[in-house]
Structure 1
């Protein structure tokens, strides 16, 4: 699908600065202690490398491992765990049920949060009200999945589901502003979890500050002519 980029790094990540999907991959790479080269992409003028590496979807993130592309963020997370099993596994070893639960919640986040959040800031009137109600239901479901006394979705260990959701914590501020709700008031366990995640170096380093995410969305609204 793609030839190797000219670099001394075995791992390269084609990404876009504010993408929560790319940030998942950056968090996972740092959690696993894997050095990589970050290759920022212009999504308005997609590079030949990106188009060669992901000819099906033509989007980021793409992980290049010795020049071979791996596409889609959750697939990249699974690939990193399989390709580098000795470094800080994202999935618990020796417990198939716990691994299945982690995959379930990572998949839930993947299917629900971003798409609903996009409708929340793009729409007006009743359609937006429906998006707000759906977002609150999603967040409350995640709050319930954390349960009482659990530090992370898998228990004491920061793992796959946490990596999948952590980048979206910086989007919560925008969702709150456009949706007129408070995550801390509606989902206190989820808000506390977000604060714990923010203390991890891998998250603090790679997740865009909430105000910058909000400004980015405001720029999108202006570009699309959304008042």
Structure 2
């Protein structure tokens, strides 16, 4: 005759602890996936400036094409063909895409794909840079602002001086480091942390890949050649 203990599932303390451990593990995995979901870094100021320049150029260029006389319409057309891709390349195009397996850097004339395992470091001095496989690539989409960095440093110093709980400045620096950094330093810190954690993933292995942005280079060169020809005639 079988006893009730032999047929019933184990519901003792060990089973409860195992269930809690599995739940905590799943929660940690879900938290990591949500923390390191795909991120996009761009420069709002750069995009705004690019849109304004494109609007101004379109207004002046179209007006010259419609109302201009002689070679003026052709010069305006050549100028637009040259200037528009350049403005887009340096203002609207730059972006940094950080995913679970790789970092994609879209600069004015190149697109660099960096698996996390190939990233040696991410740093921000006077410019934002990523080091990979012995090469250095600038992050045009994350410009460094010394003014914002100094403002963040002043805010940290002010918080340390006026802490109501009487803690030391070391504790204040730890507590306020994440929310009082300059935007570029905060972005670089996020990318550095992702590189350290995600590099061990199976999908994050591989070598850097660099592709030239011929969709930007070709019209820029064509516009420059046409502009030179028109000026030379």
TM-score bracket relative to the smaller structure: under 0.3
- Normalising by structure 1, report the TM-score: 0.24
Higher strand proportion (structure 1 or 2): 2
Kindly name which structure, 1 or 2, has the bigger radius of gyration based on alpha carbons. 2
RCO higher in structure (CA 8 A, sep ≥6): 2
